[in-house]
Amino acid sequence: WDFVLPAGERLPPHEHMYDYRFTVIEGSRLAATSAETGEELFQFDAPTGATMAFVRKEDLMYDVTGAIPAFDSTHGVKNVGNTTYREIIFETKPCETGIGDGRSAQRYDSERVRRVQLYEFQEEKQSGAVQILLNHAKIIENRASGRAASLVGSCANAAVEKKLAKEKTHAMVIDFESVIQMRETMEDIQVVSDLSAIPSLVFDFHPNLVKIAKRSGAGSLKHVVFIKFKTESPVGDLIAGYMDLTNQIDQMKGFEWGPFANGFNTKGPGRDIEAKARGGFEYVFITTFDTPADRDAYLVHSAHEKYVEQLAPNMDDFMVMDFVAFSNE
């Protein structure tokens, strides 16, 4: 990958499943950050022209030279220097020779992944858009041989949050049993080329399941929130606060979240769309409600309002998309 990180910006938490190395094209000073709290772990210089290599052992990454302390394979990175940082990064995939930690790679390939796709249908096409998306979802589900399930719907934001959808009109959430299943399905040229409606936002993530709804499929209301936090924000504390709302607000029947994990579709015509279309957002949070009325009660709940007061000044950008779910089942 050709990776660029401007001065003062950060890459949110992500997991390295493979050994990797990178060559620095434009150097700077970097900091590794905790995936759980966002706090800085350590800093190091990455000068122009340097090549660094790391190997994964269990859940830690090790610098092959020993110059950088071992760190968790799931972490964030921040450019704490004064110049834009750029690197070319290479991952060592496991192969028949047995080189590398194949166990982590296998776990990666078998890990569940969700994709959220948002659309902007023109007004004259909106009446039939749900059926169009159900048809597309059926194509994907068939290509996945039944190992994927989709929910679609039109924007159903509360009146006070209508503008927060940012002109997005429809949504599709696809649940894949594994990364490899998603990759094989979405690389299929027909899945992409048959789409008459191209999504304007694509966001992949590994779901952290905080609360599982008894009724999470067709008929439920999905409250989808995308967030880009400010660089200095206490991300871990804010995520913990969001999760804790499930203990205070009964209407929250289900809750899951995750940082972006775009880039599974490494081939095929959808590659650029998927890599670039996450809209700059770093995290997605999905709450399941039984009804729109339950969502409305949640929005005015004192615990939610108190949390929003803490959250609002820590966001660089955010978007809200609610929809009542339809499926092909």
Q: Note the pLDDT tens digit of each residue in 44-67.
A: 999 998 999 998 888 899 998 888
Q: What is the pLDDT of residue 263?
A: 61
Give the model's pLDDT for residue 149.
Answer: 92
Question: How far apart (Å, rounded) are the C-alpha atoms in residues 282 and 9?
Answer: 12
Q: Helix axis angle, 102-110 relative to 179-186, nearest 10°?
A: 60
pLDDT in tens, 152-169: 999 999 999 999 999 999
First to last CA, the chain: 39
Q: What pLDDT was estimated at residue 284?
A: 94
- What is the value of pTM for the model shown? 0.76
Q: What is the pLDDT of residues 252-291, one digit of tens each?
A: 999 999 888 766 544 444 445 555 567 788 889 999 999 9
State residue 265's pLDDT score: 46
In 2-159, which ranges are E strands?
A: 2-5, 10-15, 19-26, 28-34, 40-46, 51-57, 60-63, 71-72, 74-79, 85-92, 113-119, 148-154
DSSP conformation class of 234: -
Quote the CA–CA distance of 146 and 254 in Å, as a whole number.
Answer: 24
Q: How far apart are CA 253 and CA 19, in angstroms?
A: 39
pLDDT digits (tens, 9 = 90+) for 8-34: 988 877 778 778 889 999 999 999 998
Nearest to 317 by CA among 260, 279, 263, 274: 279
The predicted-structure confidence for 197-232, as pLDDT tens digits, reads as follows 678 888 988 888 999 999 888 999 999 999 988 877
pLDDT at 260 (0 to 100): 81
pLDDT of residue 222: 97
Give the mean pLDDT of the chain.
85
What pLDDT does 269 receive? 45
Is the pLDDT at 299 greater than 90? The verdict is yes
Bridge partners, 56 (sequence order): 61
Query: What's the one-letter identity of residue 60?
Result: L
Give just the sign of the alpha carbon dihedral 263, 265, 268, 272.
negative
pLDDT greater than 60 at residue 322: yes
